[in-house]
A and B are shown apart, each in its own frame.
Chain A
Amino acid sequence: MSIMSRINEFLAKASRLILGGGREALESQRRKGKLTVRERLDVLLDPGTFLETDLFVEHSASDFGMHSKMLAGDGVVTGIGRVDHRPVAVFAQDFSVAGGSLGRAHASKITKVMDASRDMLIPLIGINDSGGARIQEGVDSLCGYGEIFYRNTLLSGVVPQISVILGPCAGGAVYSPALTDFVFVVDRISNMFITGPQVIKTVLGEEISPEELGGARTHSAITGNAHFFADNEEDSFEQVRNLLSYLPSSSREDPPVTAPKPPKAALTRDVIPEDRRRAYCVRDVIRGIVDSSEFLEVHEHFARNIFTGFARLEGRTVGIVANQPRVLAGVLDVDASDKAARFIRFCDAFRIPLITLVDTPGYLPGVNQEHMGVIRHGAKILYAYSEATVPKLTVIMRKAYGGAYIAMCSRHLGANFVVAWPTAEIAVMGPEGAANIIFRREIEESSDPEATRREKVAEYEEKFANPYVAASKGYVDTILIPEQTREALVRILETARVPDSGRMPRRHGNIPL
């Protein structure tokens, strides 16, 4: 065979494989409002940077007529590409080929790029669009999932792992995304559940649509399984690229540094309302502190009583955790604890300093919270902050009461620097509650209990609802007015260092789960 005909043979084979399940299957994918697998990689990666691996891989299954079936690329596209010039390892399941079902060869292609991500210390991005296990391959398909989960776990804290759910992801398949750092979902396209609506109907007689059970909105707002929600696939990939811009390629390096930019509008001293019982949006405070007033919020729609997100201070990535007084008065509860703890641990793993903004009246009271395990879940914040060895800077803006004061990265959990504003109230509880307990007898015995109560509340407020008691003991390092905050944080971060390793040698700690 001549060289020319060999090359032509190769080109013909490759172009057939690149079509995946064929023109009709790709058209059907488009009709569902979804991009095809190769269009997705085009949107995600820098143009022309994708180097594909294993295009010619074939399955070796023979049962149930599989021996005569050729599945292009075995239903997954894998390789290395670049995002903003930085290399990433990617796999993208191709629904047009046997419904993106996962067989042995499909899984081996995925574990190969996972190993590449480990060896090259570059982020891993998985695009999930699969009907699930390839039933014809039986237990081999389960082996494939297990080997992926194993690698997800070993890669955790080594390289950032990102999952984009762009189609069904059901049954055991959900656990690979669940083991990764960030899950991206798209409205009306993503679906994740362990058992689908059909099974639930048969077994339990309960009827629910796939969207309600495990659609993008459900996982963003109710379960917290998804961290980023988008209206369409293009926006979702833009979110992925934006997230990567804040992150190092692995935990061996520092996050990328960009040109410093001041906030668009500086903080003013009236950023928080005078009345401690009035709400405000903590995002306005964050905008007044960070570069360009820009941040990338993580878990925007889940546990909205706490804010978590990435931003930059003088060009350096920081992770921000902030109570959100606008929702549930900024209390800590089960979901907020889970959300914050996971974010703190991610930042600690990837050398991202933590900034904590505090304004919380305490924990959410209620039988429901107690029975949902607020003890077990609340412990995660304490654990995550105490464990973290990245620089930890805390700004106490207003209320910091009781156990929630301790939990929000107090000096006592190892904060490197604690700033309080003059409006800070660092106390064992709010004046109303404290006065009712301490002065119970005086109030009860008073001829005008209401007047006495008001008087005693004012007395307590005067004496304890301020930053000076804590500052007098060194629990607060400095008291600043809001407009000085950014400058102070920048200066402290300039000198702060991330230690090479964590704490005492041990196999690993045992975070309450």
Chain B
Amino acid sequence: MDPESLCIDSAMYETEIPRNSLRPYQGLPDARDLKAFIPGTVVDVRVREGDRVSAGQVLLLLDAMKMHNEVCSAIEGRVAQVLVIKGDRVEKNQILVRLDAAV
């Protein structure tokens, strides 16, 4: 393995840097995008575009892991876009609803 360089406290060290050890930072999730945390089927959509929603409000139900999982808003705001309809199969991390945060 070719020596690579690792910088610690302004000093460069020649060393091996294993794969996985310096993964890039992914960032905190954006609370305005409600994503499917698991693949599943949308069984109920309870909001429409333009609706005002409060923090903790159930926006839709996602059937996965033999459960009807509540997908809730983490913030207060207005529904900008509803990207799924009842019966849709969704992938993990697919955006279901987009919100505009309350000003």
CA A327 to CA B11, docked complex, whole Å? 16
Question: Which among B6, B20, B22, B25 has the greatest number of chain A C-beta atoms within 10 A?
Answer: B6
CB atoms of B22 and A433 under 8 A apart: no
Q: Give A372's nearest chain B residue, CB to CB.
A: B23
Contact of A433 among B10, B15, B18, B25 (CB under 8 A): B10
Given contacts A277-B11, A277-B13, A279-B15, contact A329 B6 (CB under 8 A): yes
CA A359 to CA B14, docked complex, whole Å? 14
Given contacts A205-B91, A326-B16, A328-B16, contact A432 B10 (CB under 8 A): yes
Residues on B with C-beta less than 8 A from A331 are 6, 8
Is B38 an interface residue, CB under 8 A from the partner? yes
CB atoms of B39 and A205 under 8 A apart: yes
- The smallest beta-carbon distance between A336 and chain B, in angstroms, is 10
- The smallest beta-carbon distance between A159 and chain B, in angstroms, is 35
Mask, A421-436, CB within 8 Å of B = 1, is: 0000000011111101
Mask, A364-386, CB within 8 Å of B = 1, is: 11111001000000000000000
- The smallest beta-carbon distance between B94 and chain A, in angstroms, is 11
Q: Give B9's nearest chain A residue, CB to CB.
A: A433
CA A431 to CA B8, docked complex, whole Å? 11
CA A480 to CA B97, docked complex, whole Å? 67
CB atoms of B15 and A329 under 8 A apart: yes
Mask, A290-305, CB within 8 Å of B = 1, is: 0000000000000010
CA A432 to CA B8, docked complex, whole Å? 9
CB atoms of A365 and B39 under 8 A apart: no
Residues on A with C-beta less than 8 A from B22 are 366, 368
CA A147 to CA B64, docked complex, whole Å? 33
Is B103 an interface residue, CB under 8 A from the partner? no
Residues on B with C-beta less than 8 A from A430 are 8-11
CB atoms of B14 and A277 under 8 A apart: yes
Is B17 an interface residue, CB under 8 A from the partner? yes
Within 8 A of A (CB), among B1-37: 3, 6, 8-18, 20-25
CA A328 to CA B17, docked complex, whole Å? 5
Is B55 an interface residue, CB under 8 A from the partner? no
Q: Give B27's nearest chain A residue, CB to CB.
A: A367
Contact of A328 among B10, B15, B38, B39 (CB under 8 A): B15
CB atoms of B25 and A368 under 8 A apart: yes
CB atoms of A432 and B25 under 8 A apart: no
Is A222 an interface residue, CB under 8 A from the partner? yes
Is A362 an interface residue, CB under 8 A from the partner? yes
Residues on A with C-beta less than 8 A from B65 are 203
CA A276 to CA B11, docked complex, whole Å? 10
CB atoms of B21 and A333 under 8 A apart: yes
Residues on A with C-beta less than 8 A from B3 are 279
Q: Give B3's nearest chain A residue, CB to CB.
A: A279
Range for the number of chain B residues in contact with chain A: 20 to 34
CA A325 to CA B14, docked complex, whole Å? 9
Contact of B11 among A325, A328, A361 (CB under 8 A): A361
Is A401 an interface residue, CB under 8 A from the partner? yes
- The smallest beta-carbon distance between A363 and chain B, in angstroms, is 8
Contact of B16 among A203, A327, A433, A434 (CB under 8 A): A327
CB atoms of A361 and B38 under 8 A apart: no
Is A204 an interface residue, CB under 8 A from the partner? yes
Mask, B38-59, CB within 8 Å of A = 1, is: 1100000000000000000000
Residues on A with C-beta less than 8 A from B64 are 203
CA A99 to CA B16, docked complex, whole Å? 43
Question: Which among A361, A371, A434 has the greatest number of chain B C-beta atoms within 10 A?
Answer: A361
- The smallest beta-carbon distance between A281 and chain B, in angstroms, is 11
CB atoms of A361 and B8 under 8 A apart: yes
Q: Give B28's nearest chain A residue, CB to CB.
A: A371
CB atoms of A326 and B8 under 8 A apart: no
CB atoms of A432 and B11 under 8 A apart: yes
Given contacts A304-B18, A328-B16, contact A203 B39 (CB under 8 A): yes
CA A204 to CA B64, docked complex, whole Å? 9
- The smallest beta-carbon distance between B65 and chain A, in angstroms, is 6
Contact of A277 among B12, B24, B38 (CB under 8 A): B12
Contact of B15 among A222, A327, A362, A436 (CB under 8 A): A327
Is A278 an interface residue, CB under 8 A from the partner? yes
CB atoms of B23 and A329 under 8 A apart: no
CA A432 to CA B14, docked complex, whole Å? 15
CA A367 to CA B8, docked complex, whole Å? 14
Residues on B with C-beta less than 8 A from A368 are 22-25
Given contacts A203-B39, A432-B9, contact A367 B18 (CB under 8 A): no
Residues on B with C-beta less than 8 A from A371 are 25
Residues on A with C-beta less than 8 A from B13 are 277, 279, 325, 329, 361
CA A326 to CA B8, docked complex, whole Å? 15
Q: Give B20's nearest chain A residue, CB to CB.
A: A222
CA A362 to CA B25, docked complex, whole Å? 21
Within 8 A of B (CB), among A341-374: 361-362, 364-368, 371
CA A503 to CA B8, docked complex, whole Å? 37
Q: 9 more A-B contacts (CB under 8 A) besides A222-B20, A433-B11?
A: A205-B92, A329-B6, A361-B8, A361-B13, A366-B22, A368-B23, A368-B24, A368-B25, A433-B9
A selection of 20 A-B contacts at a CB cut-off of 8 Å is: A203-B39, A203-B65, A206-B92, A222-B20, A277-B11, A279-B3, A304-B18, A325-B15, A326-B15, A328-B15, A328-B16, A362-B8, A362-B9, A364-B21, A368-B22, A368-B24, A430-B9, A430-B11, A431-B11, A436-B10
